[in-house]
Structure 1
C-alpha cells in the first residue's frame, strides 16, 4: 500500500467525521457509545480513544484495529435518523468507510467480512433488515422515483435492482433463509410493479426482464427453503416467462436448473425434476455459456443416476463426461456469472457414484468437494456434500464414522436453515436405524434435536 493510498484513506476518514459535524472528541464519545450499545464496552478513556482517532487521520496514518473497524462500521452504517444504511454506491457513509479501510491497508477479504458482519448484526437488531438499508441514498431515490413514475426508469434503476439481487445472493450461507427472503422482497415487488407498468421505456425492458428473472429465481429458491412450495412454483413460473423473452437461452436454463433442484425435493418421484433438467440442457446447449452447459449436464447426471439401473448408470456417466468437458474448456468471455466450479461438479460426481457406482469413489469425491467449498456462501452446499459423504461411509460399513461426520452437518444446517441440507441429513440419520441403540447415535439425535428441533 503506497503512502498516497494511506493519505487518501486518512482524508476519507476525516471527511466522514466532519460531514457529520463531529470533532475528534465527539467521534471518540460516539465510538464509546457504540461499544456500550453492542455490549462490548471499551476499557480506554475518551482521551485515549480520541488519540486513536487522530492517528487514523494523521499525516502518517495507521489502520484501525479490527475492534475499532467494527465500531466505525456501526457508527457510519447508521444515518442521522437512526436508520441503518449499508449502501454500496456513492453517497453512502458506510461504503466510504470501507474504501478508507482499503486505502489504509486492510485486505479485501477482511472488508467483505466486515460488511457481512454488519448485515448479520443489523438483521439481529431489527428482526429483518429492509433491502433499502443495503442501498445508498442515490439508489433509494432512483427506486422511489421509478416506482412513482415508471417513465423515469433508467439504467441507474437497473443497477439498483441488480445490486439488490447480488447483495442478497452474496449472503446465502451467512444469513438464515427467512431473513434473506425479507431482504429480497422489495426488489421482487419493484420488478413486478415495473413489468406491469405500460410506460417503462422500451429500451430498458431487456435489462428489466433480466434482473426480474434473476430476482424471481432467487426468490423461488428462498420460498422453497422456507417451505412455501406454492409461492416457489409461482415465482419460478414468472422467472421462466421473463427469461424466455430475452432471446438468451442460457438464462432460461439457469431458471430451469434452480427449479429442477427444488422440484426434486418438494415433489414425489423424479419425473417433474427430470422434465425441467431436460429443458435446461436443451436451453444450455442452444446458449452461449459453457459454464451453464456444464452445470446442466452435471444436474442431468444426478437426476438420471437417482433412477438407478445399468442404463441410467451409462447415461449419468455420459452426462458427467460432458460436464467435465465443458468445465475444462475456455471460459474467457463467458456471459454467465455462475459460480459453478470443479468443487461443485465433484459433488455431482459423488452423488452419481453413490447411486450407480462405487461408494468408495463417491466418498473420495465428496471429500475433495467439501475441502474446496470454503467460502461462507458455500456453507449450504458443503453441508449437503458432507451428508452425502456420511452416506458413503455407511455403505462402506463404517456407521460410527458416518455419525461423527453428520455432527458437522448439523451445525452447518442449523446456521442457515437449508431445506435440502436438512433433508439429506435426516435421510442419512434414517440409514443409521440399525445402530439406534448405540450411544454415538443417541449423541447425534440429541445434537439434532437441540440444533434443529427434530
Structure 2
C-alpha cells in the first residue's frame, strides 16, 4: 500500500472546513484577513500548493493567524513544522533528535523540556546583535562561501536563544535574527546564485521579522524575494511581492532612500522582464524621492543602496533599452562615484560598461572593461558580476577571432577562474 503524499493534515482540514480546492482556501485567506485586522495580505493558489507538499514551509505570523481562524487548528496540527526546532514532522512522526514542546505564545520556536525554566540575561539581545552587525561589515570583504556558513550557524544560535529570551531583549534578538537570515539570503542569491535556497532562507527571515514586529525589515525581505521571480522573467509574481513590500514599508518610518530602493528593485525586475520603459519611469521616480528627502533616517542594516547604486540600476536599464550613449555616460559616472568598499558592485558596473562597448561595436574596449571586472572578481568573488562578464562574452561572438577577444578568453578560462567558477 502506497504512503500518502504531501501534507495530508492540511488537505484534510481544508476539505473538512468546506474548501474543496486549493484556490478556494487561498481566496478565503485573502478575503478573511481584513476581518481580523490584517491589511494587505494576499495568498495565491501556488502558496497553498506549497503548504500541501511533502515539505511545507512554515507560514508567516499573519497567515498562521488566518489559517487557524479558518480551519480551527493550530499550525503544528495542520502539518507545519516550525523551522526553529519543532518536534514534529509534517507527516506526524516525532523527530528523534530532541523531545520538545511549544512555549505558550511562542509559535516560532520550541525548546527541550528541560530548558523551559531557562531565561537568558537581558544582555543577550545586544550581544547577539553585535555579531550580526559584524557579519554585515564582513560581507563586503570576506569571500561569500567562507562567510555564509558562519552566518547560518549564528542564525541557528538565535533560533535556540529566542524561546529562552523575554522582552525587551527578545524583540532585539528577533530583529537581529531576521537581519542574519536576510544577509544569508542575499549571499545565496547574489553571490552564490542559489535562488531556490535563497527563497527558503528569506522566508525564515520574514518569520523572524514578524516575531520582531519590524515592518521595515519585513519590507526589505519581501523586496528581496521579488528578485527571485523577477530575474526569472516571472513579472506577475515579482510585482505581487513588491506590492507586499510597499505595504509593509507604509507601516514603518521608511526613509526617502528606502522608498527609492523599492523603486530600484521593481525597476530591476521590470528590466529583466523586458519592460525598460516602465523601469526607467520607476528610476526617475526614485531620483525625485532622493532629491526631496524625508524626515526619517535609513535603517543601519540597509547598507547596500545609495545614489550611486541607483545610478547603476539606471545605467543597466538604459543599456537594455538600447540607449547606448546615455548608458555609457551614466555608468562611467557610477564608476567614479562608487566608494572603495563597493568592490562587488564595481564588477557589475565594469561588466555593464563592457556590454555598452560591445553594443557600440567596440570589442577592444569591451574586452578592456571585462578584463578589469575579472581583476576585481579575483579579489572579491561575486556571482552576479561573473554573470555580467559571461553575458559580455556572448555578445562578442561576432569578433571571437580577433586577438583582443582571444586574449580575453585566455583570462576568462584560465585555470584559476575556471576552477573558481565551477567550485561556486
CA distance in 1, matches of 2:158, 2:363: 49
Per-residue displacement from partner, 1:19-49 (whole Å, max 9, x unpaired)? xxxxxxxxxxxxxxxxxxxxxxxxxxxxxxx
Map of 1:253 onto structure 2: 219
Mapped contact 1:250–1:284 kept (Cα < 8 A): yes
Of 428, 433, 436 in structure 1, the residue corresponding to residue 397 of structure 2 is 433
1:119-130 correspondence runs (5 A)? none
Of 299, 322, 331 in structure 2, the residue corresponding to residue 366 of structure 1 is 331
Of 261, 271, 283 in structure 1, the residue corresponding to residue 248 of structure 2 is 283
Mapped contact 1:220–1:232 kept (Cα < 8 A): yes
Q: Is 2:366 the partner of 1:407?
A: no
Distance 1:325 1:343, change over 3 A: same
CA distance in 2, matches of 1:413, 1:446: 15
CA distance in 1, matches of 2:203, 2:180: 12
CA distance in 1, matches of 2:229, 2:384: 11
Per-residue displacement from partner, 1:226-262 (whole Å, max 9, x unpaired)? 3544432221111112223444422112112333335
In our comparison, the structure showing a higher alpha carbon Rg is 1
1:353 positional shift = 1.2
Distance 1:331 1:452, change over 3 A: farther
Map of 2:292 onto structure 1: 329
Map of 2:159 onto structure 1: 192
Map of 1:159 onto structure 2: 126
CA distance in 2, matches of 1:347, 1:440: 26
Mapped contact 1:252–1:283 kept (Cα < 8 A): yes
Per-residue displacement from partner, 1:298-337 (whole Å, max 9, x unpaired)? 111222233335xx50x22331122112222335541512
CA distance in 1, matches of 2:179, 2:370: 33
Distance 1:204 1:150, change over 3 A: farther
1:48-197 correspondence runs (5 A)? 151-195=118-162, 197=163
Aligned partner of residue 160 in structure 1, secondary structure: helix
Map of 2:210 onto structure 1: 244
CA distance in 1, matches of 2:228, 2:340: 22
Mapped contact 1:343–1:373 kept (Cα < 8 A): yes
Of 413, 437, 444 in structure 1, the residue corresponding to residue 408 of structure 2 is 444
Structure 1 vs Structure 2 CA RMSD: 2.5
CA distance in 1, matches of 2:274, 2:184: 32
Of 193, 197, 200 in structure 2, the residue corresponding to residue 234 of structure 1 is 200
1:371 positional shift = 1.6
1:355 positional shift = 2.1
1:186 positional shift = 3.0
1:333-412 correspondence runs (5 A)? 333-337=296-300, 338-339=302-303, 340-356=305-321, 358-376=323-341, 378-412=342-376
Mapped contact 2:312–2:334 kept (Cα < 8 A): yes
CA distance in 2, matches of 1:318, 1:286: 25
1:427 positional shift = 0.9
CA distance in 1, matches of 2:152, 2:213: 27
CA distance in 1, matches of 2:230, 2:374: 22
CA distance in 2, matches of 1:362, 1:154: 54
Map of 1:213 onto structure 2: 178
Unaligned runs of 5+ in 1: 1-147
Question: Aligned residue pairs: how many?
Answer: 301
Distance 1:357 1:289, change over 3 A: farther
Of 277, 290, 294 in structure 1, the residue corresponding to residue 260 of structure 2 is 294
1:259-274 correspondence runs (5 A)? 259-262=225-228, 264-265=230-231, 267=232, 269-274=234-239
Aligned partner of residue 292 in structure 2, secondary structure: coil
1:18-57 correspondence runs (5 A)? none
Mapped contact 2:177–2:205 kept (Cα < 8 A): yes
Aligned partner of residue 429 in structure 1, secondary structure: helix
Mapped contact 2:129–2:172 kept (Cα < 8 A): no
CA distance in 1, matches of 2:152, 2:299: 24
CA distance in 1, matches of 2:117, 2:307: 43
CA distance in 2, matches of 1:432, 1:292: 37
Per-residue displacement from partner, 1:365-388 (whole Å, max 9, x unpaired)? 111112222322x11111111111
Unaligned runs of 5+ in 2: 1-114
CA distance in 1, matches of 2:117, 2:166: 8
CA distance in 2, matches of 1:273, 1:413: 29
Aligned partner of residue 410 in structure 2, secondary structure: helix
Mapped contact 1:151–1:201 kept (Cα < 8 A): no
